[in-house]
Amino acid sequence: METLRELDIVRATAGAVRLTRADDGQGEREMPTMTVRFSPFGTWYEIDSWWEGRFLERTVRGAFAKTIAENASRVKVMFNHGRDMYIHQKVLGVPESIREDADAAVGDVPLFDTSYVRDLLPGIEAGAYGSSFMFRVLQEQWNEEPGRSDHNPDGLPERTITEVRLYEFGPVTWPANPDATSGIRSGTDAYYEHLRLADPARVERLAARVTELRTAQGAQPPAKGTAPLSAAAPAPPDEPAMRHSGGLTPRERRWRRYPYLKEGASR
């Protein structure tokens, strides 16, 4: 299996943001430092996405080492990937450190003393937000026919990500699919939904490349004239519509949310 190399992809994780407060030595409390554990290592989770396909995925320790060494100063920290209607693309702070712990990629961010950051503090302190990050896969390993197992009961292809380029991370309101035991989900479809509003030509070019790639792999392409992102379709909120499954499969839930994908969503 192969996915489109130039895709910027999004992953979200539940329950992975905390604050550390300090004072200035004179009894005054400074703005806290936010710690975001944005990519757990060695945890298998299912990707079921029009843009990416359906497979299991995990990241491993070492995948972030090069991007941290070469790109850490350019990584942005935003709320809801800069799509919040009030905060927009204002950054929350500049990372003090981005590192790999034994179990996850982690960023420490001294938060700016601004009104829009202060508005987020009660929710972060209460554990109301999860974390998410945007990246591009540079190196990966595929197991095309892993067979069925406890972590992969459907025998889906398995991707192990060994190197990424990290662009952005931060807290998000809707971090994970509650039906998933891993607490990790793909936010790539929603990301390209929003990107369509700002740069429809780029999205359509990428959609054509996805169709071309799937056709080359022998998969059923989208029906002629059917784009994955309709120009007339409204951009959905970040909340995943599958929060109440009603007994539907992941694909049926996705079709209900994005009916214009139905004709082109075969895998």
* Domain presence at residue 244: yes
* Domain presence at residue 2: no
* Domain presence at residue 256: yes
Token pair recorded at residue 124? 């972060």
* Domain presence at residue 1: no
pLDDT in tens, 124-142: 999 889 999 999 999 999 9
Domain that holds residue 143: 9-264
Which whole number is the average pLDDT over 241-266? 45
Residue of 80, 104, 92, 115 lying closest to 33 (CA atoms): 92
DSSP for 29-96, written as a single string: BPPPEEEEEEEEBS--EEEEETTTEEEEEEE-TTTTHHHHHHHGGG-EE-SGGGT-TTTTT---B--S
Rounded CA-CA distance 38/42 in Å is: 13
* Domain presence at residue 4: no
Q: Which position has the higher pLDDT, 254 or 203?
A: 203
* Domain presence at residue 3: no
| Alpha-carbon dihedral 15, 19, 20, 22, rounded to 10 degrees | -170
Query: β-strand 130-143 against 158-172: which pairing, if any?
Result: antiparallel
Residue of 187, 181, 191, 267 lying closest to 229 (CA atoms): 191
Q: What is the pLDDT of residue 15?
A: 72
* Domain presence at residue 159: yes
* Domain presence at residue 160: yes
Within 8 A by CB and 6+ apart from 64, the residues are 39, 98, 100, 105, 164, 166
Rounded CA-CA distance 163/149 in Å is: 25
* Residue 208 pLDDT greater than 70, yes or no: yes
| pLDDT range class, residue 174, cuts 50, 70, 90 | confident
- Burial (CB < 10 A; 0-12, 13-18, 19+), residue 126, is exposed
pLDDT in tens, 73-90: 999 999 999 989 899 999
In the chain, the amino acid numbered 120 is L
Indicate the number of domains in the chain.
1
Which whole number is the average pLDDT over 238-264? 45
Note if the pTM is more than 0.85. no
